[in-house]
Structure 1
Amino acid sequence: MHICVQCVTVALALIGLLAGQSAAADWANGERIAERWCAGCHVVAPGQSRGSDTVPTFAEIGSSKRLDDDALTAFLTDPTHSRMPPLSLARSEIADLVAYIARQSR
Structure 2
Amino acid sequence: MKRICGLQCAGTVALLLTVTGEGAAADRLHGRAIAQRWCSECHVVAPGQVRGSDTVPTFAQIGESERFDERSLAAFLATPHHSRMPNLSLTRAEIADLVAYIKAK
Q: CA RMSD in A?
A: 1.6
Evaluate the alpha carbon distance shift between residue 54 and residue 79 of structure 1 in structure 2; reply closer, same or farther with a 3 A threshold.
closer
The code of the aligned residue for 2:30 comes to: N
Corresponding residue number in structure 1 for 2:56: 55
Corresponding residue number in structure 2 for 1:66: 67
Q: Deviations over 1:17-37 (max 9, x none)?
A: xx7xx5210000000000000
Please tell me whether Structure 1 or Structure 2 has the larger radius of gyration of its CA atoms. 1
Q: How many residues align?
A: 85
TM-score of the superposition, structure 2-length normalised? 0.75
* Moved segments of 4+, more than 4 Å: none
1:94 matches 2:95: yes
User: What runs of 5+ residues in structure 1 fail to find an aligned partner?
Assistant: 1-14
CA shift, 1:79, in A, is: 4.7
SS at match of 2:104: helix
Q: Distance in 1 between matches of 2:30 and 2:76?
A: 19
Query: In 1, are the aligned partners of 2:42 and 2:53 still within 8 Å (CA)?
Result: yes
User: What runs of 5+ residues in structure 2 fail to find an aligned partner?
Assistant: 1-13
Evaluate the alpha carbon distance shift between residue 70 and residue 39 of structure 1 in structure 2; reply closer, same or farther with a 3 A threshold.
same
Q: Deviations over 1:64-95 (max 9, x none)?
A: 01111111000000155424011121110000
TM-score of the superposition, structure 1-length normalised? 0.74
Evaluate the alpha carbon distance shift between residue 29 and residue 70 of structure 1 in structure 2; reply closer, same or farther with a 3 A threshold.
same
Q: Distance in 2 between matches of 1:82 and 1:74?
A: 16
Identical columns (%) = 66
